Amino acid sequence: MKKQHETPTEKIDNERKVAVVTGSSSGIGYATTLQLARNGYLTFATMRNPEKGSDLIGAAKNEGLPIQVEQLNITDPDSINDFMTRINKTVGRIDVLVNNAGYWLIGALEDLSIREIQDQLDTNLLGTIRVTRQVLPLMRERKSGTIVNVTSALGRFGLPAMSGYVASKFALEGLTESLAYEVAPFGIKVILIEPGVVKTKVKDNSVVGRRALRNDSPYSSMLGSFNAAFSVLWENASTSDQVAATILQAISSPERKLRYPVGSDVAVWLEKKSTMSDEQFQEYMMTSLGSLAPRQR
């Protein structure tokens, strides 16, 4: 497949560090692509639909940044194979992989279909696994590399109306912990980035379970409370640039630190969770978020 973009100043050589960022068309992936490119990385900004990369291409041209927009569908093994073939032919290395692609599935478990849950896991969890498995041999060969998995504060605790999403992020947290043990002997560093609420298009790009939208859902009041709570949290949310800056800090640090929470909301939640019983923490979250519990009909 033809490369989508190459900056005029770009020189592909064995000295320039190479980064791959998934889900780069907007939000955290977009900001991270710019942050890495501005700090000298030849950055492959990957996305399912490269036509959405026009803003990145414009920024790369204006600033002379080494950014290439590439097609990559992390749920499609053929797409991943094609992308890795292009990487091997052009640069032959990946120093940093940022697994960022994902989306929110909103709805109580009972209101989610098995297919909706499978699609959520296919992107948020299995997509990351597919890409990581393809990148690891390149990193092992060089005995260096960094894998960054963007999870969420909801990889550390659950919330109602987010069962499918939370399941994917809890699984990714556990996977990353295990992977860190496995690849450390090969000089590969593994990092978890755990943002709270971030001002991105995540709500616009979210999927609401079809049954959750029905007026007769026993969880309809909970979904309304979730939307109201999210609107309040949005007012003091972190920015994509803050998350991108944390990613740059994490990959640049010589120390092996596994987790990097991002946002004042996460700091408060994790502090409370560390000092409270599970029951106390649940009560605190329900109260502070305006009681997300479904009302009996």
User: Do the Cβ atoms of 198 and 238 come closer than 8 Å?
Assistant: yes
Considering just the CA atoms, what is the radius of gyration of the chain in Å? 20
Cβ-in-10-Å burial (0-12, 13-18, 19+) of 70 comes to buried
CA distance 189 to 269: 27
Place of tokens 């690891």: 136
CA distance 5 to 246: 27
The partner residues of 43 in beta bridges, in order of sequence, read: 19, 67
Helices (H) and strands (E) counted in the chain, each on its own, are 10, 9
The tokens describing 286, both together, are 């329900």
User: Do the Cβ atoms of 57 and 33 come closer than 8 Å?
Assistant: no
- Among 30, 41, 103, 165, the active-site one is 165
Q: What is the dihedral of CA 117, 123, 125, 130, to 10 degrees?
A: 140
CA distance 85 to 232: 45
Q: Which of 24, 165, 37, 33 is nearest to 101 (CA)?
A: 24
Is 165 known to be catalytic?
Answer: yes
Q: Which DSSP letter does residue 23 get?
A: S
Catalytic residues: 165
